[in-house]
Amino acid sequence: MKTLIEFINEEQSHIPNASGDFSRLMNDIGIAAKIVNREINKAGLGDIMGYEGTANVQGEDQKKLDVYANNEFIKALKNGGQCCAIASEENEGLVTFENKLSNDGQYVVAMDPLDGSSNIEVNVSIGTIFSIFKRKTKPGSPGTVEDLLQPGNQLIAAGYVIYGSSTMLVYSTGNGVNGFTLDPSVGLFLMSHPNMKIPGGGKIYSVNEANYIYFPDGVKEYLRYCQEDDAKTNRPYTTRYIGSLVADFHRNLIRGGIYLYPGTRKNPNGKLRLLYENVPVAFLAEQAGGKATDGFRRILDIRPKALHDRTPLFIGSKHMVEKAEYFMDYFSKEFKPEDTE
């Protein structure tokens, strides 16, 4: 079986004059994932569950594992020296490094080190999500916020790690999506899901329906559509909602389905962050033949104005996302952002 490292090197060999920096960066992410995985696997045993007693910039209480995963990924990226700046869900500002090696790095990374952390205590799947861009500024000094504020259509690579019944790393450099499963007995990620494709349609819809009364009419009407009885189109569909974006997305990627985190009148931009939650999964969805929008606009074309910007997310099987967009356009035009073409 092909290992992650072999696959990364193989991809690099197809790029003329590649310096190997990107391969080293991806390797570092794989190593940090293994370290975090080790800690998650024994979460019930040590003193790693529960709250750290601090809040992140979004006012969310930080769990000990949030902080641990954040530190491990930052450490790995710092030691590697290919990354000159990191935007993380757990850090208000940009993380930069005081060393020449990192300041010469070509890449910037945006990440959610531990997504779905409310699920840690109950042994439900959680994840790590990452976006990798080339820096805009010249190497030789720390990366800047400008280096990170790029739309997803400029991504070099993106992916996630799912810590579930098995641990997988799924990523894309723009040549399709490949999944690697961690074999804990040898400590290696092995290619298990080559060239992943999301089915064009599906039966699963994933949404936190407790927010129903706050949803735009377009989403309410779409959910009504999902629940209608129509044997010809396989409806009613079925609901699956884990509350970990990575896990909900991963299931829908394999089975087909749609995940929605809409905006509401109170929070028109929803909950999920553009740079390190929506953009990476949108990139993977498109690379697998699916679709990702904010209800109106392609996620990958939205330029972030700040590191922690949020947008609504409608993502998954192409036909299902298009249907949801149709309902948004018909019933919820007032949610359409002004800069939509």
Q: Minimal distance in Å, beta carbon 76 to ligand AHM?
A: 20
CB of 118 to ligand AHM, least distance (A): 6
Tokens of 84: 């000159």
Instruction: Report the nearest approach of ligand AHM to the CB of residue 114 (Å).
Output: 7
Our CB check for ligand AHM shows the closer of 111 and 177 to be 111
Q: Which does 332 bind (CB under 5 to 8 A by kind): ligand AHM, Mg ion, none?
A: none
Nearest to 244 by CA among 122, 330, 116, 338: 116
The beta-carbon contacts of 320-326 under 8 Å, at least 24 apart in sequence, are 320/201, 320/202, 320/205, 320/256, 320/257, 320/258, 321/258, 321/290, 321/291, 321/292, 321/293, 322/291, 323/222, 323/225, 324/218, 324/219, 324/222, 324/258, 324/260, 324/295, 325/293, 325/295, 325/296
- Measured over the CA atoms of residue 273, residue 57, residue 246 and residue 179, the dihedral's sign is positive
Query: How many chain residues touch ligand AHM (CB under 6 A)?
Result: 12
Q: Does 128 bind ligand AHM (CB under 6 A)?
A: no
Q: CA 16, 21, 22, 26: dihedral to nearest 10 degrees?
A: 140
H or E element, residue 71: helix 64-80
Tell whether residue 60 is a contact of ligand AHM (CB under 6 A). Answer: yes
- Nearest Cα residue to 134 out of 84, 78, 77: 84
> Which is closer to Mg ion, CB of 60 or CB of 301?
60
181 binds, among ligand AHM, Mg ion, none (CB under 5 to 8 A by kind): none
Which range, of 13-21, 43-51, 111-119, 187-195, touches ligand AHM by CB under 6 A?
A: 111-119
Q: Of 30, 81, 113, 116, which one interacts with ligand AHM (CB under 6 A)? A: 116
90 part of the interface to ligand AHM, by CB under 6 A: no
By CB under 6 A, tell whether 208 contacts ligand AHM.
Answer: yes
From the list Mg ion, ligand AHM, none, partner contacted by residue 208 (C-beta under 5 to 8 A by kind): ligand AHM
User: How far apart are CB 128 and ligand AHM at their closest, in Å?
Assistant: 10
Who contacts 111 (Cβ-Cβ below 8 Å, separation ≥6)? 73, 86, 87, 88, 89, 128, 129, 130, 131, 276
Residue 117: contacted member of Mg ion, ligand AHM, none (CB under 5 to 8 Å, by partner type) = ligand AHM
Would you count residue 243 as binding ligand AHM (CB under 6 A)? yes
112 binds ligand AHM (CB under 6 A): yes
CB of residue 229 to Mg ion, shortest distance in Å:
35
Tally of CB atoms within 10 A around 47: 6
311 is a contact residue toward ligand AHM (CB under 6 A): no
Residue ranges that bind ligand AHM, judged by CB under 6 A: 60, 89, 112, 115-117, 208, 243-245, 248, 271
